[in-house]
Amino acid sequence: MDTFALVVTIGVALFFTYTNGFHDSANAIATSVSTRALTPRAALAMAAVMNLAGAFLGSGVAKTVSEGLIDTPTGGQGMMILFAALVGAIVWNLTTWYFGLPSSSSHALFGGMVGAALAGSSTVYWWGVWEKIVLPMFLSPVVGLVLGYFVMVVILWIFKGSNPHKAKRGFRIAQTVSAAGMALGHGLQDAQKTMGIVVMALVIGGVEDEGDPIPVWVKIVCALMLSLGTYAGGWRIMRTLGRRIIELDPPQGFAAETTAASVMYTASFMFHAPISTTHVITSAIMGVGATKRVKAVRWGVAKNIIMGWFITMPAAALVAALSYWVVNLAFG
């Protein structure tokens, strides 16, 4: 196996992780920044540290990505498929970041994997894609929306007789904890996805055997790149999540972050399902905002975001397929 191709593919995987970090940094901290619970730089530093910590909490999501979605042959063709999948995901990440659209880096990656595998005449485990990707893609936002609504209703009921100013001050402090929990869940989910891709590259290159434990160095470099990307920040998307959907106050921000973090931990530890942190936090914000009044949520903005969710996988798949054909033409 060409060592250079392996090194290049791992390098591209780490760059994808970096784009994932700055693309998704808004997921963890947009609500805390918009409610002024944290300053932007303090929030980004906290999110970067918690992303790093979250990457070491498990390996179930990484195994789902590396073993349950596509079957790549060893050798040059398998490496081209993996390389093209990453290119498709990166192109879509950068495109949606440019337009400030909080699409899913996770589903861009999965769409890229499927598109590149099909272009390379490789096997796609359609049941695994349906069970571990598509089904959670639809269920997790619904759960986030409904749970966010009820969490906010409970908070309003508990604090209905409290002094509004004191309550908001307390929730502003509590948001530091909820934002940290959200960032920890982001590291648990998204760093593991790239770990799975790097492990696939090592298996294709004959360096590791399928089923081997994830090497420690893989965990470290994936976690570091995600943290660096997070600290770089994604200000365009942060404005969309923090302000354009609804103007959040500290209790709403706390409810949204707590809801999203709970959904991510459940998906990671109980189901080993790689869900989208973007989908979960966005839907939680919508659910929380709807408790104020349904019209308080800017559903036009929400509609555009949801449309982006639906086109992410096929768009990334198309770019990945085109990338595979170009690479195959050049080097195949």
Instruction: Single out the residue of 180, 166, 181 nearest to residue 251, CA to CA.
Output: 166
Higher pLDDT, 278 or 221: 221
* 297 pLDDT above the threshold of 70: no
Q: Provide the number of structural domains found in the chain.
A: 1
Lowest mean pLDDT among 35-44, 214-223, 323-332: 35-44
Q: Look-up: residue for tokens 């790093």?
A: 52
Please tell me the predicted confidence (pLDDT) of residue 183. Answer: 87
The pLDDT score that the predictor gives to residue 75 is 85
- DSSP character for 38? S
Whether residue 249 contacts residue 35, with contact meaning beta carbons closer than 8 Å, is answered with yes
Question: In the chain, which ranges are E strands?
Answer: 70-71, 123-124
β-pairing, 70-71 vs 123-124, is: antiparallel
Q: Please say if the pLDDT value at position 28 is more than 70.
A: no
Give tens-digit pLDDT for 146-192. Answer: 999 999 999 999 998 888 888 888 998 999 899 899 889 988 988 89
Compute the average pLDDT of residues 47-52: 85
The counts of H helices and E strands in the chain are 14, 2
Structural domain of residue 48, as residue ranges? Answer: 3-331
110, two tokens: 């999965």
Which pLDDT belongs to residue 322?
95
The pLDDT value recorded for residue 307 is 77
Residue 153 CA to residue 176 CA, distance in Å, equals 21
Residue 6's alpha-carbon distances to 75, 80, 297, 332, in angstroms, are 10, 10, 47, 15
Q: Report the mean per-residue pLDDT for the chain.
A: 86
Query: What residue spans of the chain are helical by DSSP H?
Result: 3-34, 40-54, 60-67, 76-98, 105-119, 126-129, 135-158, 164-186, 192-204, 216-232, 235-239, 250-266, 277-289, 299-331
Alpha carbons 307 and 243: distance in angstroms, whole number: 19
Of 155, 124, 184, 136, the residue nearest 321 (C-alpha)? 124
Q: Summarize pLDDT for 68-77 with one digit per residue, the tens.
A: 899 988 888 9
Residue 242: per-residue pLDDT: 47
Quick one: what percent of the chain has pLDDT higher than 70?
Answer: 89
Average of pLDDT values for 295-304? Answer: 65
Q: What is the pLDDT of residues 222-237, one digit of tens each?
A: 989 988 887 776 555 5
Q: What are phi and psi of 123, to 5 degrees?
A: -80, 130
Write the DSSP string, 194-219.
Answer: HHHHHHHHHHHTTSS-TTPPPPHHHH
Let me know: does 116 contact 81? Beta carbons within 8 Å.
yes
Q: Report the percent of the chain where pLDDT is more than 90.
A: 42
Length of the chain: 332
Which residues are registered as beta bridge partners of 70? 124
How confident is the model at residue 27, as a pLDDT?
Answer: 64
Task: Give pLDDT, residue 235.
Answer: 56
Residue 305: predicted pLDDT: 64
Q: Which amino acid is at 91?
A: V
Give the 3-state secondary structure of residue 32.
helix
What is the pLDDT at residue 239?
55
Q: What's this model's pTM, rounded to 2 decimal places?
A: 0.88
**Nearest alpha carbon to residue 47 among 272, 282, 229, 172:** 229
